[in-house]
Structure 1
Amino acid sequence: MEPKDSTINEAFKGFTNDACPFMPCHQGVKREFNCLFCYCPLIAYECPGPYRVITDRHGMKRKDCSPCNLPHNGYLQSWSFIQKWLERPILWDGHEQTRYTVSLPEEAEPRRADSTRSD
Structure 2
Amino acid sequence: MEHYKYFQNKECEYFPCHKTDDPDNFNCLFCYCPLYHLGDKCGGNFTYTSKGIKSCINCMRPHLKENYDLIKDTLVKNQ
Where on the TM-score scale, by shorter chain, does this alignment land: which range? Answer: 0.7 to 0.9
Number of residue pairs matched by the alignment: 75
Give, in whole Å, the separation in 1 of the partners of 2:20 and 2:43. Answer: 16
Q: TM-score with structure 2 length normalisation?
A: 0.79
Aligned alpha-carbon RMSD (Å)? 1.9
Between Structure 1 and Structure 2, whose CA radius of gyration is higher?
1
Q: 1:79 aligned to 2:74?
A: no
Q: Percent identity?
A: 36
- In the other structure, the counterpart of 1:53 is 48
Q: How does 1:5-20 map to 2 (within 5 A)?
A: 9-20=1-12
- Which structure would you say has the larger RCO, counting Cα contacts within 8 Å and 6 or more residues apart? 2
**Could you tell me which residue of structure 2 aligns to residue 34 of structure 1?**
27
**TM-score (norm: length of structure 1):** 0.55
Paired letter, 1:38: C
Q: Could you list the runs of 5+ residues in structure 2 that have no partner in the other structure?
A: none
Q: Which has the higher helix share?
A: 2
Question: How far apart, CA to CA, are the structure 1 residues paired with 2:36 and 2:53?
Answer: 9
